[in-house]
Amino acid sequence: MSRSNVACPVCEAGASAPYAVVDGYPYYLCGGCGSIHIAPEVIADMDAGVALVGEYASEYWEQERAGALERAAGASLCRAGEAILYCRRPVHRFLDVGAGPGFLLCKLQELLDTNGEVFHGVEKFPPPYAVHGTNFHVGSVDELEGTFDAGVCIEVVEHLTPKMLDDLVSGIARVSAPGSFWLFNTGMPEYVRNEDPAYLDPLRRGHIISYSLRAVSAIFARHGLRVGGLPGKSFAFCAEYQPSESPTFDERIYQPVAENEDLLRRNELFYYAAFETARSYLYFAEYQERTRWALSLQGALQAANLGC
């Protein structure tokens, strides 16, 4: 493992200390923004066009095929439902950013949008087995027409250098309606440190950076998007474009925008999957907070008793 600190390429202000070596590539933890990133020279190479796993190479997509199918019928579907539930404006157009093979888009249309009026997906480098159905756009976000009210970006951010992420966010801002809600599913530093150290994976999955909430907040703010954490989730965050209100997640879950609840209830099972998923993570976050409070109280009492 490298023993020297480096300048953080994410926040460009903090100093990053050696964190781990994965497949021969050193990763660093920034003492400023808290992000975990691959060596800066690798990031510079990627910005110059050198890709660790190829530019969405066929080998990468083939190994992702089974996982993409599974997520489209499970976790990713729930994340999309949550984004609609949380959004504080009526969702008439929804975008899956980095849609990959389009499996999630197809599932959303199958369940809620058989006429293809609401759900869209965009993918710059689709795999050979991609489902090029209704509203599946090949290209960049900033090439899309019109605006969107909500969307998801699932397992994309961790592949991007800071420059690539800034470009993506710029495109999302361009197609965002005021108050639009975006849910980003990506392993953040707490997730990597406490739940899945193997998430850092430069060669097979191309996971080069675990962005912290502080880091993405600064990047997104430059483009008019306010970032926030999602209760109970160390693997996701949200962003709203020019929001006019700041409701709690209790309000978002239990008092959703009527049109959005109606959209989800086009399939009652899907509605309850989204609602119960959102609620369970909210309760988990509250449990974690109560546990931290109890442990801190216990520590204070023990310290007081020792001082007697």
Dump pLDDT digits (tens) for 263-306: 999 999 999 999 999 999 999 888 777 777 777 777 777 777 77
Dump pLDDT digits (tens) for 41-79: 999 999 999 877 654 556 667 777 888 888 888 999 999
| Residues 271 and 264 sit within 8 Å (Cβ to Cβ) | yes
| Residues 41 and 202 sit within 8 Å (Cβ to Cβ) | no
Least confident among 50-64, 75-89, 96-110, 213-227: 50-64
CA–CA gap between residue 49 and residue 142 (Å, rounded): 20
The residue extents of the domains of the chain are: 56-276
**Predicted TM-score (pTM) of this structure:** 0.91
Confidence label for 36 from pLDDT (cuts 50, 70 and 90): very high
Q: Residue 235: which residues within 8 A CB-CB, separation 6 or more?
A: 185, 186, 187, 188, 191, 195
Could you tell me where the beta strands, DSSP code E, fall in the chain? 6-7, 15-22, 25-30, 36-38, 94-97, 119-123, 136-138, 148-154, 176-185, 209-210, 225-229, 236-241
Dump pLDDT digits (tens) for 223-238: 999 999 999 999 999 9
Q: Residue 284: which residues within 8 A CB-CB, separation 6 or more?
A: 231, 232
CATH code linked to domain 56-276: 3.40.50.150
CA–CA gap between residue 82 and residue 95 (Å, rounded): 14
